[in-house]
Homo-oligomer: A and B are copies of this chain.
Amino acid sequence: MHPVETQVRVRYAETDQMGVVYYSNYLVWMEVGRVEYCKAQGFNYRDMEREDGAFLVVVEAECRYTAPAFFDDEVIIETRVLESRGRSIRFGYCMRNAATGQLLATGSTKHIICGANRRPRRLPEKYRAYFPLK
């Protein structure tokens, strides 16, 4: 499956006194990528939580930073599923400068599926087609 692309524009709020994007904000962009990934598959993550009581709880996150992002840059976030099991999903991300194509960062997040009670559960039936075992 092709990665799903989405874009964010760097906010002033996301920069720090080094004049570049502060490192934790890339994890927020990964979230933006995941949400868009779901929409591209045909569902809203919001509804998965609200209507089906299934939450993608983050258990691991990692990011490698290769070049800085600056205020007002357009950043392309490419999101894909690296691994999908009945109880966990791993997403991979590639972030690039939209104007130059330069690679800014790569990363991944691993999630377990939990219920509203924060206990692990299996991915509801209807979402399995969106996350085929892999």
Contacts and interface: CB of A to CB of B under 8 A. Distances in A.
Interface stretch (A7-15, A78-86, A94-102, A124-132): A7-15
A112 to B, nearest CB: 10
Contact of A63 (B15, B32, B60): B60
Contacts of A71: 17, 46
What secondary structure prevails in chain A residues at the interface with B?
mixed
**Closest 9 CB pairs between A and B?**
A62-B62, A24-B27, A15-B17, A24-B24, A46-B72, A23-B58, A13-B28, A17-B19, A15-B16
Given A13-B24, A16-B16, A57-B65, 12 more contacts: A11-B35, A12-B16, A12-B31, A13-B28, A17-B18, A17-B20, A23-B58, A24-B31, A59-B66, A60-B64, A62-B63, A68-B118
Interface of A: 9, 11-13, 15-20, 22-25, 27-28, 31-32, 35, 44-46, 55, 57-66, 68, 71-72, 109, 118
